[in-house]
């Protein structure tokens, strides 16, 4: 899914988990976007040099992307937050939890929507070399095209409705 769809889904989850706290809802949305933020510098460079965005990815970026989209990585982060929360029980700990929960939502959604061969060995189970994907649908119309497909528009609308309904 597009990064903005992860944000809306994270906000909807945040509204479900933290119904009276817009800050925690926002941090859940930020956490849901975090795995895709590793692309931002490359995207900006590609646009600046007038190259089709994200068609040329370095091995280093591919590795960082695999880690940032790894279900085991985010699961370990949730376990780490359990330790932090027991030591540091305050609002910052709650924000860290919210960001981590948002981040954990990202890879399972991408399992259904990342099937482009240009994405390489995108496994979502780093450090294990197992390619995890379900179906054959890819979320992009083409590399660098950030407009959503119709199904994604539906998902965005439902998530926005959920967020607004639960938040206000």
State the angle between helix axes of 71-87 and 91-111 in degrees (0 to 180), rounded to the nearest 10: 170
Distance CA 28, CA 144 (A): 25
Provide the 10 A C-beta neighbour count for residue 33: 21
Task: Find the mean pLDDT for residues 6-19.
Answer: 93
Do 65 and 42 form a contact (C-beta atoms < 8 A)?
A: no
This prediction has a pTM of 0.81
Whether residue 153 is predicted with pLDDT greater than 70 in this model: the reply is yes
Buried b (16+ CB within 10 A) or exposed e, 34-69: bbbebbeebeeebeeeeeebbeebeeeeeeebbebb
Give 68-108 pLDDT, tens digit per residue: 888 888 888 888 877 877 777 677 788 888 888 999 888 88
Name the band, by pLDDT with cuts 50, 70 and 90, for residue 115: low
């Amino acid at each position: 899914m597009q990064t903005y769809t992860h944000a809306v889904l994270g906000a909807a989850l945040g509204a479900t988990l933290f119904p009276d706290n817009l800050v925690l809802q926002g941090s859940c949305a930020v956490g849901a976007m975090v795995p895709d933020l590793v692309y931002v510098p490359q995207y900006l460079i590609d646009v600046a040099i007038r190259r089709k965005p994200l068609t040329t990815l370095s091995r280093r970026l591919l590795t960082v992307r695999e880690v940032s989209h790894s279900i085991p990585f985010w699961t370990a982060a949730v376990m780490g937050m359990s330790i932090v929360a027991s030591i540091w029980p305050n609002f910052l700990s709650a924000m860290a939890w919210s960001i981590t929960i948002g981040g954990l939502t990202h890879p399972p959604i991408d399992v259904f929507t990342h099937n482009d061969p240009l994405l390489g060995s995108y496994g979502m189970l780093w450090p294990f070399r197992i390619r995890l994907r379900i179906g054959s649908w890819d979320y992009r119309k083409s590399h660098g095209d950030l407009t959503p497909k119709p199904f994604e528009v539906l998902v965005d609308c439902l998530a926005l409705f959920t967020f607004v309904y639960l938040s206000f």
